[in-house]
Amino acid sequence: MGTLPFFAYAFAFLFLPAGQVLVGAFKGEHGGFTFSNITGLFHQPYIGAFQNSIELSGVTALAGGVFGVLIAYAAIRDGTPRWIRSMLTTFSGVAANFGGIPLAFAFIATLGSIGIVTKFLLNQLHYNIYLHGFSLFTKTGVEIVYLYFQLPLMILVISPAIDGLKREWREAAANLGARPIQFWRYVGVPVLMPSILGAIILLFGNAFAAYATAYSLGYSNLITVTLGAYYQGNVLSNPHFAQAMALGMFAVLALMMAIYIPLLRRAQRWAK
């Protein structure tokens, strides 16, 4: 079968280490089988960390998904010069992996207490965003920063699918007297929907697994940060508990997939 090399590779380098996680999650601190790692997950602050991570990932996946499609479409559609698309695609390739301290600092320098946008709003428009409750170091702030790599990821993944929306369809619809919004409702969105859903799942996973950016912004109530802390063992040390957390992350993503597959089937029916 043609997929054999792939599965062999995946087994050797993905399943084996991942299997360690599965097995390790049930090991106690001194060896032996235990469920305590799993049950421990349902207490604060871990359950809160899970909720936070899920919410953060969901919000940025949806926001990144919607705005990503809009920006990608704006760049690809007829009328926009081709170079804009090339620039956007390549830029997105870089920005999609821009994170950690450089990204955190870039936004601190922009929206921090003495950031250039903050100062601009204060000096030119006499509006102090910090006085009005905004702070870069809250969940909202982290979401704004996360979009910096979520949007590009969406743009990159959805662009080939938008290519698939043949120009002829739009012209044919126009010839038949359809307004743009009707085109989108009956042709455009249904055709794109399976790819959009897949891309949003990817964005969710991307945000869910992110660590360095939130850490640099000091937002530590996320499951990845907590997991890293426990696994590293520098301050807290319980690698098996960390593996249980990874198992929990696995469960969340499995749940996402369980939601995705029936949605996908429905979307594909529309596309047909």
Residue 48-87 contact track with other proteins, rule CB under 8 A, x = bound: xx--x--------------x--xx-xxx-xxxxx--x-x-
Residue selected from 28, 39, 42, 91 as contacting other proteins according to rule CB under 8 A: 91
Residue 257 binding other proteins, by CB under 8 A: yes
Burial class (CB in 10 A: 0-12, 13-18, 19+), 180: exposed
Size of the site for other proteins (CB under 8 A): 122
Q: Which of residues 192-211 bind other proteins (CB under 8 A)?
A: 194-195, 198-199, 201-202, 205-206, 208-209, 211
Q: What share of the chain is helix, strand, coil (3-state, %, to 5)?
A: 75, 0, 25
First to last CA, the chain: 29
Site for other proteins in 21-50 (CB under 8 A): 21, 44-45, 48-49
CA distance 265 to 3: 23
Rounded to the nearest 5°, which phi and psi values hold at 33?
-85, 140
Q: Which member of 29, 35, 42, 105 binds other proteins (CB under 8 A)? A: 105
Q: Which of the ranges 34-42, 109-117, 121-129, 181-189 carries the binding residues for other proteins, by CB under 8 A?
A: 109-117
**Are 145 and 136 within 8 A, CB to CB?**
yes
- Find the binder of other proteins among 17, 31, 32, 177 (CB under 8 A): 17
In whole angstroms, the minimum distance from the beta carbon of 49 to other proteins comes to 6
DSSP, residue by residue, 168-219: HHHHHHHHTT--HHHHIIIIIHHHHHHHHHHHHHHHHHHHHT--HHHHHTT-
Nearest to 210 by CA among 52, 57, 14: 57
Q: Which is nearer to other proteins, 107 or 183 (CB)?
A: 107
Instruction: Report the nearest approach of other proteins to the CB of residue 181 (Å).
Output: 12
Part of the chain binding other proteins (CB under 8 A), chosen from 29-37, 121-129, 150-158, 181-189: 150-158
Phi (first) and psi of residue 31, to 5 degrees: 80, 175
**Whose Cβ is closer to other proteins: residue 176's or residue 235's?**
235
Q: Does 226 bind other proteins (CB under 8 A)?
A: yes
Residue 183 sits in the site that holds other proteins (CB under 8 A): no
Tokens of 51: 């909720």
